[in-house]
Structure 1
């Protein structure tokens, strides 16, 4: 077990949803002291029955309720050696205020969030504290369990968590079975690379089909490639250098996506593993009638494009379609690529 000074880490998950429960559960299973701060509807069944964690590679981990502390009281932040922020982008400011009020000034804060601005916002709200961005490459979805069983969370795709390098060796300390964590000296480039991949979250939500099915369709991949190429043009104009989260350089990704099915399948199988039933987090949001993070993804590209005089017609349309789906609250639109 990874320890600090021979003792288990005290980790607070600030905003325990799917990612927070999955990571927090694995840390607790490895012997760390984990507090889940979140909403009652999510945490009540966890407090009563624990967690069942699984993944695409066959992981099956049960976490007993006594191994976790579930709370709606932000005072749990005061006891943490490390705070992991896992709220949606819309909740960053409110969580930053709670950490400023309750968190220990010497406790590092890691942003396990999508988009580019969350760690920056937390740094501004928590001056003098060790605030670091992180990149979580995989998605986690609620898993069906039998009546009376613990709630389940399933990791549906591959990849290692990356955090900004710094003091404390947090990558080594947080790496536990089933959850590798590595440090990088270029977390900004890694985040921009992840944003390119995350742009497909909206397309997957609009499609209404699993990610694997979407990737098997050359028509959907061509739209994904066009959207990524648009974002890369904007990033080049802004002087940004995204770092690939796969073995291939980012500029090759649109070309790979446009390949015939047989060639794409052969290359993709070497880079990424996805559960056949996996859907994007944005698809999950629309299915549950929640506001999405499209403004932090396509919206980021749109804002950069406006600032540097680069048109973003694909992102513009996708933002509009996602906003319409949010307003309708009718679930997934189940659109075809030609409709977009």
Structure 2
């Protein structure tokens, strides 16, 4: 028994973790687990793998924590069969899979997992948006899919350097096989909360994620963008429209910040000095934080705007309505068009009115 006031020993990991589609989020979460002694295999882009092979992995956060995993301890592969080859996972399968591909890659990744892993393998979708776990289950029905949620932003500060710039804890739909992992994730510095119904939290998180296209189009770090009244007005309009669409669909988003969802638009529209004071917890973001959508835009990759604003546009259409401001985000970040240059807040607002 541990002494009072002192943490007990870290729980023994229940098995191997496979991170499928390891970008910034997947590499951060998996890297924290690996730094805590969990056996982790990563499947991700060659670019990230080459950087980790040369530099190792350094993980930092806004609380001042620093974790490092040497290159020799990182098991990175560009494809799934290679990740599973030569391990017990190849026969018995990993104990837990974290799916962290971008939303557009969900079906392809799920099909690959379904072909490679034993039936019943537990997979948690740590992706943006609402329906990724359901889409994955349609593509690989033999696996046990559970929706999950990542509340924070991870910035790639340089080769092999990932930084968590905002606060929060992971969440997933409860499953008896996930419960032994809760103390493991906590010991690794990435706490995991299990809930009976994740969907209200997902809708609440989606409301906050509607700032991602605003942030990407602003060209600013998150904190600087949120302290700009013009960009906050754009964010508030997207949230307000989304709340109206959700209400028409009978959806009640959960509260995922100190501010109830319906209060978010009025708060965002307050003058900056008052907003800074009342939204102090929301602004607990360090200067290095930015949205993953901003990173994708900077790297010339398609963004996940369709899993965010697109979800609102489709929900509106399903109930006989429209969501023109969120539709404007889809248009501005259309992957068929050249990547837009940063837009001043006034220009972004004008484009939203044309949506």
TM superposition score normalised by structure 1: 0.92
Residues 63-74 of structure 1: matches in 2 within 5 Å? 63-74=69-80
- CA apart distance, 1:143: 1.2
Matched with 1:328 is: 338
Query: Against the structure 1 CA distance between its residues 119 and 336, is the aligned structure 2 distance closer, same or farther, given a 3 Å change threshold?
Result: same
The residue matched to 1:121 in structure 2 has which SS?
helix
> Does structure 2 retain, via aligned residues, the 8 Å contact 1:208–1:335?
no
Query: Against the structure 1 CA distance between its residues 126 and 272, is the aligned structure 2 distance closer, same or farther, given a 3 Å change threshold?
Result: farther
Query: Against the structure 1 CA distance between its residues 248 and 329, is the aligned structure 2 distance closer, same or farther, given a 3 Å change threshold?
Result: closer
- CA apart distance, 1:271: 4.0
Deviations 1:3-29 (A, max 9, x none): 4xx455310000111111111110001
Distance 2:308 2:222 in 1: 18
Unaligned runs of 5+ in 1: 146-150
Q: Decide which moves more: 24-33 or 301-310.
A: 301-310
Distance 1:263 1:336 in 2: 20
> Does structure 2 retain, via aligned residues, the 8 Å contact 1:13–1:34?
yes
Question: Do residues 171 (structure 1) and 182 (structure 2) align?
Answer: yes
The residue matched to 2:40 in structure 1 has which SS?
strand
Question: Do residues 18 (structure 1) and 32 (structure 2) align?
Answer: no
Distance 2:301 2:102 in 1: 11
The residue matched to 2:194 in structure 1 has which SS?
strand
Unaligned runs of 5+ in 2: 1-8, 85-89
Distance 1:181 1:99 in 2: 23
Distance 1:106 1:176 in 2: 26
Residues 233-272 of structure 1: matches in 2 within 5 Å? 233-272=244-283
Matched with 1:224 is: 235
- CA apart distance, 1:73: 3.2
Residues 58-137 of structure 1: matches in 2 within 5 Å? 58-75=64-81, 76-77=83-84, 78=90, 79-137=93-151
Distance 2:139 2:245 in 1: 29
Matched with 1:296 is: 307
> Does structure 2 retain, via aligned residues, the 8 Å contact 1:8–1:31?
no
The residue matched to 1:297 in structure 2 has which SS?
helix
RMSD: 1.8
> Does structure 1 retain, via aligned residues, the 8 Å contact 2:118–2:143?
no
Moved over 6 A (4+): none
TM superposition score normalised by structure 2: 0.88
